[in-house]
Amino acid sequence: MLMLTVGETATPPKISIYGCNLPRTVVEITRWESENPDVASVDAKTGVVTGVAPGETVINAFGTDTDVDTGKDYETYEATLPVTVVSPTTAAR
C-alpha cells in the first residue's frame, strides 16, 4: 500500500511480474495506469504516482511476455498497488 498527501509524488515500490513461460522469469513492466486518476495519477512509463485528491484507488502495472511457441509479445498478468491519498491537514494529525 502507498499513502500520499495531495500534491505529493512517489516512486512505487519494486514490483515483479512473472511471465507465463517456464522457467518463470520476471518480465519488464511496460505500462502503468490508475483506476481513478482523479484520486492519484501515474506516469504511464515511469510509474511515478501523484496524489490528486483525497480518496483511494489502485495503480496497475502491466508487463509484456513473449509466447515461446509463436514468438509474439503479449501483455501478461498485472500487479496492483493500493493507494490512499489524504489531504495535508489530515496527514498532519
Cell of 16: 515483479
Specify the 3-state DSSP secondary structure of 20.
coil
pLDDT digit string, tens, across residues 26-83: 667 888 999 999 999 999 999 999 999 999 999 998 887 777 777 777 666 678 899 9
Domain boundaries, the chain: 2-82
Of 2, 79, 77, the closest CA to residue 39 belongs to 2
pTM comes to 0.78
Q: Is 25 left (phi over 0), alpha (psi -120 to 50) or beta?
A: beta
Q: Residues in the chain, how many? A: 93
